[in-house]
Structure 1
Amino acid sequence: MFDAAAAGEILEGRPAAASTARTLVLNRPGVLNSLNSTMVTALRSRLLAYEAATPPGVGVVFLRGAGRAYCAGGDLRALYAAGAEGGGGGGDPAARLAAAEAFFRAEYELNYVLATLGGGVMAVALLDGIVMGGGVGVSVHAPFRVATERVVLAMPEAVIGLHPDVGASFLLGRLPGRTGEWMAATGARLTGAQAVAVGLATHLVPSGRLADLVARLEAVSPTRRAAVEEELAVFAEATAPGQGGADADAQRRAAFPHADAMDEAFGAATMEETLAAGSPFSVKVGVASVRAGRAQSLHSCLVREHAMSVRCAAGVDVWEGIRAALVDKDRSPRWAVERLADVADADVAAFMRPLTAKDGVAPLELEPRGVDKYMDHPGGGTAGRSRL
């Protein structure tokens, strides 16, 4: 339907026949559809326009990526180069902080809009290929996430000195067992079947049937979520817990033979003896964030993650991690703290605190969207959320 070489980093399509379905394509295949500010702004604008249309004109919105990836995450090399003369090499620290903060703010606003879409708009993320970092944020918050056998899904932020963001502390905190801590600490890569087993994806559909699935939903133009679910079930080889599947922990144990070892290692109060990857500080912060997210709403998680990302951008590990992984590619980052045992719990807690005037950056403010089940409720958590 789309030419990957077509102009524009976000392509919008609709069926030739009258239909309420639309398709939004992430169109930077040469960089695995890595997100930049232009793409984030365009996606948010289109989704809000669909939601606000009077009378409603859009039902199903397919989200997909051009080429062999859905989305490999944010365009971190561009942030690394911010402020550098000619756009190459490491940038000016103040310019990089400003560019990173602006990107994170816009990205989290998009994540929140995707998670709270109303007006009859139903996003269906078609996950086929690489889905990492920011790509998780622009897909897993959708009500329907269709994964194929070609999916490689991960939150590898600790490897570059960041932390699982884009609402990941909310998402990973609700996975069965200690799967979320394990993903945050190790950057573990999940298959499509594993993503379905823990609920990060809702349906497993063979890649060869995606075109037929899209054509069917375009033709039917369902206006109710139950009707979308019925159509997806026809194509699905497996469904996530809560989508007609088996018990959540039973599905996880079938997909992860090492589930008991995972739970034992990542259920410990301290992380010093566990297997981890990346910046020791980021590993500890990431695990603490996932644990905090279990008792918080998506709204609160995004606000907290924004504060944490600002502090990452104001530090050194993330820029050193990007340099080692994506710029010089020597795979030899020099972390500010070299051992997990040297990361103090007090420093982790301070890193996760809300932004204040002393930080010089305004906190993230997310506009309440109607009867918002993703805002905090008495007792914590999120009333009414059933997808994860």
Structure 2
Amino acid sequence: MAGKHSSDATPSEVLFERRGTLGIVTLNRPQAVNALTAGMAAAMLDQLSLWADDDAVAAVLVRGAGDRGLCAGGDIVAIYRDMLGGGDATAEFWAGEYRLNSLISGYPKPYVAFMDGLVLGGGVGISAHGSVRIVTERTRMGMPETTIGFVPDVGGTLLLSRSPGESGTHAALTGAHLSAADALFLGFADHFVPSAKLAELAGALENEPAAAAVARFAGEAPPSVLAAQQEWIDACYSSDDAGEIVRRLRAVGGEASEVADIIDAKSPTAVKVALESLRRVRGLSLEEALEQEYRVGLRFLAGPDFREGIRAQVVDKDRNPHWQPATLAEVSRDDVESYFAPLGDRELMLSKERDNV
């Protein structure tokens, strides 16, 4: 039973079942590393809402089909086609997806996410807001949006803003893929479990309390690379100016200078707006953060870089995007602030919806 919106998704794209007292969600698009569609998000929102009130369900498990990852993010090819056609499908997708993120964050039962393999963008949104977040030696997590001319969303700006020191700023601007140890260090995950033990853990969750089952299988993760780099990361990224951050990275030299080259290759607009997003989101609730991300996201849909980034990385795959503007210096303060302007009657009203529950 996927709920009233289940017809929007191909039935096999997301599977729901109950085993013992465990409700299981399986993202089932392995050929696309389980990339999330609007129909899948809507079906999850409906089913998770039903399970929240079902006394027969003690906990929920979210996992991905296949062996490549939990979820490689939103279906950006669909977003690209929607942008070319001037449609509203992406805005509607995000509105539903962000409601799902909010539901997961406040879920009344243990929400266990197997963050195995690739966990990118929207995949972070359906896992890192949960209460029991499990990574493995195969985990490659990230919010790589600046690479495609976009910024972290699905509540990612809030998660990154809460990471130790400026490590979240570093992860946001570079779009780096993170190991299990780095995900734990950033606060995106809670437990390390070897991938070979996930099936056995899933079986234990069917009848055991989640905390006890996970405790039996969890082990120690390897050291975090980000934790070892924190001294120069904090020194370089403490500025609120992206150009100054790049200058500081180059002054440090070595691996920091290589990071500066990485940032310089990203969309200058996306880098500056991502930095501003992380600064503005501090102290906000998840719902308020999602509302801000929605404002910013709709502005990126209307601009050139998001479309160009997807074209270069995913459609034509020439890896040669032509950003407009082309440099950080050309992106003005007014340009950045325009991304955060109110949307009027298009605002996402998650805060009010939460207060009315």
Contact 1:169 1:294 in 2 (8 A): no
* 1:65 is the counterpart of 2:64: yes
Deviations 1:256-289 (A, max 9, x none): 3211111111112311142214200001111111
Among candidates 84, 94, 102, match of residue 91 of structure 1: 84
1:226-254 residue CA offsets vs partner (Å, 9 max, x unmatched): xx323312211138xxxxxxxxxxx86x7
Deviation digits for residues 316-337 of structure 1, max 9, x if unmatched?
A: 1101111111101111111111
The 5 A counterparts of 1:14-29 are 14-15=18-19, 19-29=20-30
Tell me the number of residue pairs that the alignment of Structure 1 and Structure 2 aligns.
329
After superposition, residues 44-55 of structure 1 pair within 5 angstroms as 44-53=45-54
Aligned partner letter, 2:58 = G
The answer to whether the 8 Å contact 1:65/1:71 transfers is yes
Question: Secondary structure in 2 aligned to 1:14?
Answer: strand
Change (3 A) 1:20 1:14: same
Counterparts of 2:215 and 2:181 in 1: how far apart (Å)?
15
Cα distance in 1 for partners of 2:84, 2:157 equals: 29
**Cα displacement (A) at 1:309:** 0.5
Offset of 1:14 from its aligned partner? 2.4
CA contact (8 A) 2:21 2:207 kept: no
Q: Is the 8 Å Cα contact of residues 168 and 186 (structure 2) preserved in structure 1?
A: no
Identity between Structure 1 and Structure 2 (%): 39
Describe how 1:235-250 pairs up with structure 2 within 5 A.
235-238=217-220
Let me know the Cα RMSD of the aligned residues.
2.0
Q: Could you tell me the TM-score, scaled by structure 2's length?
A: 0.87
Matched residue, 1:234: 216
1:162 to 141, 150, 167: 150
* Change in 2 beyond 3 A, CA 1:370/1:312: closer
Instruction: Provide the residue aligned with 2:254 in structure 1.
Output: none
CA contact (8 A) 2:160 2:186 kept: no
Shift of 1:348: 1.1
Give the direction of change, closer, same or farther, for the CA distance of 1:371–1:102 in structure 2 (3 Å limit): closer
C-alpha distance in 1, partners of 2:234/2:120? 23
Q: Which has the higher helix share?
A: 2
In structure 1, runs of 5+ residues without a counterpart are 1-5, 83-89, 223-227, 240-250, 373-388
Q: Tell me which amino acid in the other structure corresponds to 1:46.
A: Q
- Correspondence 1:363 to 2:347: yes
Please say if residues 196 and 238 of structure 1, whose CA atoms lie closer than 8 Å, have aligned partners that are also in contact. Answer: no
* TM-score, normalised relative to structure 1: 0.81
Alignment partners' CA distance in 2, 1:283 and 1:342: 12
Asked whether the 8 Å contact 1:178–1:267 carries over to 2, the reply is: yes
Whether the 8 Å contact between 2:105 and 2:130 is mirrored in structure 1 is: yes
DSSP-derived class of the 1:238 partner: coil
Q: Is structure 2 residue 203 aligned with structure 1 residue 215?
A: yes
Conserved? CA contact 1:116–1:369, under 8 Å: no
